[in-house]
């Protein structure tokens, strides 16, 4: 569901009464007729509701120490309402410190707390630099409203009972062990450092394949570290996830094709003499209102491991927003699992009943997920809609036990239900790669998508703005194979995608791949060395191998292989590009994607970063960020500036 760009920029101003009478009337009339913009308006007003509720239950002073930086950041720098919402992680995280931030952001003015004795003490927002006390590390605020861990979570000790307001004003949270430092949100845990893709000879290895099972968690993790004044660990930076965090303006598919392929080649900004090839893929947009009726069964992991602010509370907030998008013909039910399965909401289209059930959700016990699957599928079967989208939507952090059933048996259960018309999609609140692997396997078996959620932006993106993509998979086992022409290309290097290998039975059959929903864009970048370049080839020293070249002026050919959800036969789209199609003036999308990749190489301390530079990234992105209605590209520039400051 897309908002109208001309109105979207005025919604916040409309809420705060900052428009003229004529503008106010125009926006009001538009909101009455446009569902997408109305949803955007309701999203922003929900933020104000959070503020109102929070003011009713402001916690005691001693609960506020780890939140003092929130007020300081709000006072120091103007940020958007979206920034605040993304920082607060819905109602469960709205503490008094967050309320202070919202007041400064929305209303301005001096913030004054009332202490226990009733006197008023202005809270200082001047915070000293990071200090170390032996092995104890002080958590300091960042250049933006940060994601701080509330007291008692992730190793952060609760505040001492004798903390008073003057102490609060200049205090900072301390960890006993630096290794305990956990940035707010479910930052991914990397067990190994993935070796970078190397340059390969187009003579020796002309084929390059990778799966399109992308998530975008790396960008969110990088943002968290930088917002807390730290450079991210190099192994955390995955270039393909950084690049694909952003949406690109690729053309719509033509005819009955579910995808379009856009190819572009230009100069490599960080390595003079090399070229950069961009492969852009876009799946067809599907109007949510035109989709078949939905029979959605939420299977919620409410075990103890989900009892952190960035998991179940975040999910509940996103589900509330999703409910507003449901149509009269859609049905939703909820099954929870924590040791035993419980149907907390029978199938219904009543939005008030659904909202009430969501509000009552809470964590308890341990998850025995196989029991929940059986119950969820039973509910879905009893409310089955012929010709509709019948789907179980599992939300879990992957930390569940399986009693009485092996993992392979659970996968087979999901596969059998898929064959009977019940699909499975997964919302992952995972941090460990092993946990991600488990839920990805389940989603693949259930002919559904697997989306990862670690903050409000990703939650809202998955369940609201990309609701159709989450609920409607248009292609499965999607992968790309690129064949380079050694007559034109001496060597190439795929940037990222190291952990997304594809098996190949033969030249026409690839094994593995990801699923894509409607309206998705996927981008891949190759650094290539032209055959006329003076740069050495990886196999230039080979004594015996010689390859006879076939006369062709094509640089490379892209083969996109996929299966439609309803069958298991592969289909393929083929597209090529030749040197005379290389543009001297690259597109805005090419420039932006290449600079996101360059930034990734810098953060990754890549051996292939050559002459990469923060300054060039900033300068080039600023020239191509006019189309930035959601502010994501402007935020990217801010992160690059922060990294440039820290990387000295």
Residue 279 in contact with residue 595, Cβ under 8 Å?
no
Residue 20 lies in a domain: yes
Distances in Å between the Cα of 1 and the Cα atoms of 37, 93, 141, 617 are 9, 28, 36, 31
Q: What is the pLDDT of residue 432?
A: 60
Q: What is the pLDDT of residue 189?
A: 46
Residue 307 lies in a domain: yes
Residue 368 in contact with residue 337, Cβ under 8 Å?
yes
How does DSSP classify residue 134? Answer: T
Question: Which among 409, 442, 471 is the end of a domain?
Answer: 471
What span, in angstroms and rounded, lies between the C-alpha atoms of 298 and 358?
11
Q: Locate tokens 């008030």: which residue?
A: 352
Claim to verify: residue 171 and residue 220 sit in the same structural domain:
no
Residue 529 in contact with residue 489, Cβ under 8 Å?
yes
Q: What pLDDT, in 10s, does the model give residues 277-293?
A: 999 999 887 666 777 89
Claim to verify: residue 401 and residue 507 sit in the same structural domain:
no
Residue 234 in contact with residue 604, Cβ under 8 Å?
yes
Q: What is the pLDDT of residue 107?
A: 40
Q: What is the pLDDT of residue 69?
A: 38
Nearest to 593 by CA among 575, 559, 627, 617: 617
Residue 41 lies in a domain: yes
Claim to verify: residue 282 and residue 341 sit in the same structural domain:
no
Residue 238 in contact with residue 597, Cβ under 8 Å?
no
Residue 337 in contact with residue 364, Cβ under 8 Å?
no
CB atoms within 10 A of CB 502: 19
Claim to verify: residue 609 and residue 589 sit in the same structural domain:
yes
Give CB contacts under 8 A, 24+ apart, made by 124-127: 124/169, 124/170, 125/68, 125/71, 125/72, 125/75, 125/76, 126/72, 126/170, 127/68, 127/69, 127/72, 127/170, 127/172
Residue 252 in contact with residue 285, Cβ under 8 Å?
yes
Residue 465 in contact with residue 1, Cβ under 8 Å?
yes
Residue 184 lies in a domain: no
Claim to verify: residue 482 and residue 447 sit in the same structural domain:
no
What span, in angstroms and rounded, lies between the C-alpha atoms of 498 and 500?
6
Q: What is the pLDDT of residue 540?
A: 53
Question: Which among 414, 449, 471 is the end of a domain?
Answer: 471
What span, in angstroms and rounded, lies between the C-alpha atoms of 538 and 202?
9
Q: What pLDDT, in 10s, does the model give residues 53-76?
A: 444 444 443 334 334 434 433 333
Claim to verify: residue 47 and residue 141 sit in the same structural domain:
yes
What span, in angstroms and rounded, lies between the C-alpha atoms of 102 and 88?
10
Claim to verify: residue 481 and residue 443 sit in the same structural domain:
no
Claim to verify: residue 586 and residue 606 sit in the same structural domain:
yes
Claim to verify: residue 88 and residue 46 sit in the same structural domain:
yes
Residue 188 lies in a domain: no
What span, in angstroms and rounded, lies between the C-alpha atoms of 160 and 345?
42
Q: What is the pLDDT of residue 170?
A: 30
Residue 125 lies in a domain: yes
Q: Locate tokens 């290097």: which residue?
A: 493
What span, in angstroms and rounded, lies between the C-alpha atoms of 590 and 271?
16
What span, in angstroms and rounded, lies between the C-alpha atoms of 227 and 348?
42
Q: What is the pLDDT of residue 283?
A: 87
Total of domains in the chain: 3
Claim to verify: residue 170 and residue 280 sit in the same structural domain:
no
CB atoms within 10 A of CB 29: 10
Question: Which among 471, 504, 519 is the end of a domain?
Answer: 471
Residue 187 lies in a domain: no
Low-confidence spans in the chain with pLDDT less than 50: 1, 51-192, 504-507
- Angle at alpha carbon of residue 125, lines to 122 and 129, rounded to 5°: 145
Cross-strand bridge partners of residue 483: 207, 557
Nearest to 523 by CA among 170, 123, 246: 246
Q: What global pTM score does this model have?
A: 0.63
Q: What is the pLDDT of residue 32?
A: 84
Nearest to 425 by CA among 383, 460, 474: 474
What span, in angstroms and rounded, lies between the C-alpha atoms of 408 and 403?
13
Claim to verify: residue 15 and residue 146 sit in the same structural domain:
yes
Q: What is the pLDDT of residue 549?
A: 59
Alpha carbon of residue 266 to chain centroid: 28
What span, in angstroms and rounded, lies between the C-alpha atoms of 572 and 478?
10
Residue 95 lies in a domain: yes
Q: Residue 267 half-sphere exposure, CB side, CA atoms within 13 Å?
A: 7
C-alpha torsion 429→432→436→438, nearest 10: -110
Element spanning 443, H or E: helix 433-445
Claim to verify: residue 335 and residue 305 sit in the same structural domain:
yes
- 279 by Cβ neighbours in 10 Å (0-12 / 13-18 / 19+) ranks as buried
Range of the domain at 135: 5-178
What span, in angstroms and rounded, lies between the C-alpha atoms of 198 and 479?
20
CATH number at residue 420: 3.40.50.410
Through-space distance between the first and last CA atoms of the chain, rounded to whole angstroms: 43
Q: What is the pLDDT of residue 93?
A: 39
């Amino acid at each position: 569901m897309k908002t109208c760009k001309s109105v979207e920029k005025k919604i916040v101003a409309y809420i705060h009464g900052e428009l003229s009478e004529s503008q106010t009337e125009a926006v009001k009339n538009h909101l009455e007729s446009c569902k997408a913009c109305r949803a955007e308006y309701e999203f922003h007003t929900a933020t104000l509701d959070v503020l109102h509720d929070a003011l009713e239950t402001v916690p005691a002073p001693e609960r506020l120490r780890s939140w003092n930086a929130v007020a300081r950041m709000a006072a120091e720098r103007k940020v958007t309402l979206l920034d605040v919402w993304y920082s607060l992680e819905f109602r469960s995280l709205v503490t008094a410190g967050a309320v202070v931030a919202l007041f400064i952001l929305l209303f301005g003015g001096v913030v004054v707390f009332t202490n226990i004795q009733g006197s008023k003490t202005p809270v200082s927002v001047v915070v000293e630099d990071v200090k170390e006390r032996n092995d104890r590390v002080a958590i300091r605020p960042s250049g933006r409203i940060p994601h701080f861990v509330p007291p008692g979570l992730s190793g952060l000790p609760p505040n001492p009972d004798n903390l008073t307001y003057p102490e609060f004003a200049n205090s900072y949270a301390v960890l006993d062990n630096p290794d305990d430092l956990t940035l707010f949100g479910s930052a991914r845990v990397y067990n190994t450092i993935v070796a970078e893709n190397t340059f390969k000879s187009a003579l020796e290895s002309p084929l390059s394949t990778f799966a399109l099972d992308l998530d975008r968690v790396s960008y969110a993790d990088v943002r968290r570290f930088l917002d807390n004044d730290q450079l991210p660990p190099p192994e955390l930076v995955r270039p393909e996830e950084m690049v694909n965090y952003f949406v690109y303006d690729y053309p719509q598919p033509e005819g009955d094709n579910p995808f379009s392929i856009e190819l572009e080649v230009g100069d490599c900004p960080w390595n003079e003499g090399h070229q950069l090839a961009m492969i852009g893929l876009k799946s067809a947009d599907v109007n949510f209102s035109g989709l078949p009726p939905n029979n959605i069964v939420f299977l919620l992991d409410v075990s103890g491991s989900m009892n952190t602010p960035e998991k179940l509370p975040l999910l509940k907030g996103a589900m509330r927003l999703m409910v507003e998008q449901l149509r009269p013909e859609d049905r939703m039910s909820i099954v929870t699992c924590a040791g035993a399965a419980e149907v907390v909401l029978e199938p219904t289209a009543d939005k008030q009943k659904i909202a009430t059930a969501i509000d009552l959700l809470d964590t308890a016990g341990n998850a025995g997920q196989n029991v929940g699957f059986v119950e969820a599928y039973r509910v879905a079967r009893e409310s089955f809609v012929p010709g509709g989208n019948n789907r179980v939507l599992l939300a879990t952090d992957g930390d569940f036990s399986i009693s009485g059933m092996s993992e392979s048996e659970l996968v087979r259960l999901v596969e059998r239900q898929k064959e009977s018309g019940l699909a499975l999609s997964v919302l992952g609140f995972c941090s460990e790669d092993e946990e991600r692997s488990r839920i990805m396997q389940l989603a693949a078996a259930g002919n559904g998508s697997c989306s990862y959620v670690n903050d409000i932006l990703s939650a809202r993106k998955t369940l609201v703005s990309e609701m159709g993509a989450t609920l409607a998979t248009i292609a499965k086992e999607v992968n790309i194979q690129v064949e380079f022409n050694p007559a034109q290309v001496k060597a190439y290097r795929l940037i990222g995608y190291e952990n997304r290998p594809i098996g190949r039975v033969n030249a026409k059959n690839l094994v593995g791949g990801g699923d894509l929903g409607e309206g998705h864009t996927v981008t891949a970048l190759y650094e290539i060395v032209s055959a006329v370049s003076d740069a050495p080839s990886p196999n230039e020293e080979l004594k015996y191998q010689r390859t006879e070249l076939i006369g062709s002026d094509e640089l490379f050919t892209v083969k996109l292989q996929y299966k439609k959800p309803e069958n298991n036969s592969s289909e393929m789209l083929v597209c090529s590009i030749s040197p005379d199609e290389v543009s001297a003036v690259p597109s805005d999308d090419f420039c932006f994607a290449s600079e996101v990749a360059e930034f990734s190489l810098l953060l990754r301390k890549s051996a292939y970063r050559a002459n990469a530079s923060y300054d060039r990234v900033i300068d080039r992105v600023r020239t191509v960020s006019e189309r930035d209605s959601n502010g994501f590209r402007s935020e990217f520039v801010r992160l690059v500036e922060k990294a440039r400051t820290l990387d000295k």
